[in-house]
């Protein structure tokens, strides 16, 4: 068994959350199953379920949020991939033990009552990775 048990979500940064929701609804029939404003991260998210995973549409709620910076520098598009893990703390410890850079030194609360930790894209071949424990 691998440390990563499932793709939890693919996160996409967008300027207009309602327009992006309408795109996925009208084009693919996807419905929003969860919406949340995550104050700590300065984002509003909408989750659209695809099988056991989600498309996570993200838009910033303030100018200094990381997603606002990503939109300003890279424009809309893929922001990060969330991988489900059984034990976020153990997975994070393993990443650090392997000598890889992380953004969160300790697991922290995510949306939907999850426990999460972000890993640094510079150590992960250019992809921002989020470990997600349900």
Contact positions vs Co ion (CB under 5 A)? 11, 82, 130
Residue 26 or 56: the one with the smaller Cβ distance to Co ion is 56
Residue 90 or 119: the one with the smaller Cβ distance to Co ion is 119
Residue 1 or 46: the one with the smaller Cβ distance to Co ion is 46
Q: Give least dist CB 20 to Co ion, A.
A: 15
Check the CA dihedral 4-123-110-80 and report its sign.
negative
Closest residue to Co ion, judged by C-beta, is 82
CA angle 107, 120, 75 (to 5 degrees): 115
Q: Give least dist CB 59 to Co ion, A.
A: 13
Q: Assess contact for 71 and 20: CB atoms under 8 A.
A: no
What's the CA gap between 6 and 24, in Å, rounded?
A: 22
Q: Give least dist CB 9 to Co ion, A.
A: 6
What's the CA gap between 46 and 24, in Å, rounded?
A: 11
């Amino acid at each position: 068994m691998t440390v990563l048990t499932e793709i939890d979500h693919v996160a996409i940064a967008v300027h207009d959350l309602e327009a992006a929701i309408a795109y996925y609804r009208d084009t693919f029939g996807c419905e929003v199953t969860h919406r949340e404003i995550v104050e700590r991260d300065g984002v509003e998210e909408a989750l659209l379920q695809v099988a056991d995973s989600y498309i996570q549409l993200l838009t910033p709620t303030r100018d200094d949020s990381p997603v606002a910076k990503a939109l300003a520098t890279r424009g809309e598009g893929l922001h990060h991939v969330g991988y489900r893990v059984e034990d976020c703390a153990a997975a994070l410890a393993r990443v650090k033990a392997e000598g890889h850079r992380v953004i969160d030194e300790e697991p922290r609360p995510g949306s939907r009552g999850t426990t999460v930790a972000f890993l640094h894209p510079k150590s992960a071949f250019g992809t921002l990775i989020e470990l997600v424990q349900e």
